Amino acid sequence: MRRLLIGILGISLLLLGAALSLWPTDIGRTESLRAAAFRLGPFLVVLWLAFPQLEKLPEWFFLTLPILIYLLAFRPRWFLIALPLVLAVAFLMPRPRGTTARSSRRSAVNGPRQPS
Protein backbone atom coordinates (compact mmCIF):
# COMPACT_ATOMS: atom_id res chain seq x y z
CA MET A 1 0.00 0.00 0.00
CA ARG A 2 2.82 2.43 0.83
CA ARG A 3 4.57 1.74 -2.45
CA LEU A 4 1.41 2.46 -4.42
CA LEU A 5 0.87 5.71 -2.52
CA ILE A 6 4.45 6.85 -3.17
CA GLY A 7 4.06 6.14 -6.89
CA ILE A 8 0.75 7.97 -7.12
CA LEU A 9 2.15 11.00 -5.26
CA GLY A 10 5.26 11.09 -7.47
CA ILE A 11 3.30 10.95 -10.72
CA SER A 12 0.76 13.47 -9.39
CA LEU A 13 3.53 15.92 -8.54
CA LEU A 14 5.04 15.55 -12.01
CA LEU A 15 1.63 16.22 -13.56
CA LEU A 16 1.09 19.21 -11.26
CA GLY A 17 4.47 20.65 -12.27
CA ALA A 18 3.65 20.16 -15.94
CA ALA A 19 0.21 21.76 -15.52
CA LEU A 20 1.70 24.77 -13.75
CA SER A 21 4.24 25.13 -16.56
CA LEU A 22 1.57 25.01 -19.26
CA TRP A 23 -0.83 27.44 -17.57
CA PRO A 24 1.27 30.16 -16.00
CA THR A 25 -0.35 32.58 -13.58
CA ASP A 26 0.67 35.90 -12.10
CA ILE A 27 0.81 34.58 -8.55
CA GLY A 28 4.40 34.48 -7.26
CA ARG A 29 3.92 31.33 -5.20
CA THR A 30 3.02 29.30 -8.27
CA GLU A 31 6.63 29.36 -9.45
CA SER A 32 7.96 27.93 -6.18
CA LEU A 33 5.21 25.30 -6.15
CA ARG A 34 6.08 24.30 -9.71
CA ALA A 35 9.78 24.05 -8.83
CA ALA A 36 9.05 21.98 -5.71
CA ALA A 37 6.76 19.66 -7.69
CA PHE A 38 9.45 19.12 -10.35
CA ARG A 39 12.02 18.33 -7.64
CA LEU A 40 9.90 16.04 -5.50
CA GLY A 41 8.09 14.22 -8.32
CA PRO A 42 11.15 12.46 -9.79
CA PHE A 43 12.48 11.80 -6.28
CA LEU A 44 9.27 10.01 -5.28
CA VAL A 45 9.14 8.06 -8.55
CA VAL A 46 12.70 6.80 -7.95
CA LEU A 47 11.73 6.00 -4.35
CA TRP A 48 8.75 4.05 -5.68
CA LEU A 49 11.00 2.03 -7.99
CA ALA A 50 13.52 1.28 -5.22
CA PHE A 51 10.96 0.51 -2.52
CA PRO A 52 11.71 -3.25 -2.17
CA GLN A 53 15.40 -2.50 -1.52
CA LEU A 54 14.51 0.16 1.05
CA GLU A 55 13.37 -2.54 3.46
CA LYS A 56 17.04 -3.44 3.96
CA LEU A 57 18.02 0.06 5.15
CA PRO A 58 18.53 0.83 8.85
CA GLU A 59 15.60 2.33 10.74
CA TRP A 60 17.35 5.63 11.55
CA PHE A 61 17.49 6.41 7.84
CA PHE A 62 13.71 6.72 7.72
CA LEU A 63 13.88 9.39 10.43
CA THR A 64 16.18 11.49 8.27
CA LEU A 65 14.19 10.97 5.07
CA PRO A 66 11.52 13.67 5.76
CA ILE A 67 14.28 16.18 6.50
CA LEU A 68 16.04 15.31 3.24
CA ILE A 69 12.79 15.62 1.29
CA TYR A 70 12.15 19.07 2.81
CA LEU A 71 15.68 20.18 1.94
CA LEU A 72 15.33 18.86 -1.60
CA ALA A 73 12.09 20.76 -2.11
CA PHE A 74 12.85 24.09 -0.46
CA ARG A 75 16.61 24.32 0.16
CA PRO A 76 18.35 22.43 -2.68
CA ARG A 77 21.81 23.77 -1.80
CA TRP A 78 21.50 22.46 1.75
CA PHE A 79 20.42 19.11 0.31
CA LEU A 80 23.76 18.89 -1.52
CA ILE A 81 25.47 19.14 1.87
CA ALA A 82 23.08 16.96 3.90
CA LEU A 83 22.89 13.98 1.53
CA PRO A 84 26.64 13.18 1.57
CA LEU A 85 26.63 13.53 5.36
CA VAL A 86 23.77 11.03 5.74
CA LEU A 87 25.44 8.63 3.31
CA ALA A 88 28.76 8.93 5.17
CA VAL A 89 27.05 8.11 8.46
CA ALA A 90 25.30 5.16 6.81
CA PHE A 91 28.58 3.70 5.54
CA LEU A 92 30.61 4.43 8.67
CA MET A 93 28.15 3.07 11.24
CA PRO A 94 29.16 -0.30 12.64
CA ARG A 95 27.21 -3.30 11.34
CA PRO A 96 25.74 -5.95 13.61
CA ARG A 97 28.16 -8.77 14.41
CA GLY A 98 28.26 -11.59 11.94
CA THR A 99 27.29 -9.49 8.93
CA THR A 100 29.78 -7.89 6.59
CA ALA A 101 29.32 -6.19 3.29
CA ARG A 102 30.88 -9.14 1.51
CA SER A 103 28.76 -11.80 3.22
CA SER A 104 25.53 -9.86 2.69
CA ARG A 105 26.39 -9.34 -0.97
CA ARG A 106 27.21 -13.02 -1.43
CA SER A 107 23.97 -14.14 0.24
CA ALA A 108 21.97 -11.72 -1.89
CA VAL A 109 23.45 -13.22 -5.06
CA ASN A 110 23.68 -16.90 -4.14
CA GLY A 111 20.97 -17.20 -1.51
CA PRO A 112 21.55 -18.48 2.01
CA ARG A 113 24.54 -20.71 2.55
CA GLN A 114 23.74 -24.42 2.81
CA PRO A 115 25.39 -26.38 5.64
CA SER A 116 27.93 -28.91 4.34
Do 64 and 51 belong to one domain?
no
Do 49 and 61 belong to one domain?
no
Which tens digit of pLDDT belongs to each residue from 50-69? Answer: 888 877 777 877 788 888 88
> What is the pLDDT at residue 99?
59
- Range 85-90, long-range pairs (CB < 8 A, 24+ positions): 86/61, 90/57, 90/58, 90/61
Domain housing 47? 1-55
Do 49 and 15 belong to one domain?
yes
Do 3 and 50 belong to one domain?
yes
Say whether pLDDT at 7 is over 70: yes
Contact 67, 78 (CB under 8 A): no
In a domain, 31, yes or no: yes
Which tens digit of pLDDT belongs to each residue from 17-62? Answer: 999 888 877 777 788 888 889 989 998 999 899 888 877 777 877 7
In a domain, 115, yes or no: no
Do 22 and 51 belong to one domain?
yes
Do 2 and 50 belong to one domain?
yes
> What is the pLDDT at residue 46?
92
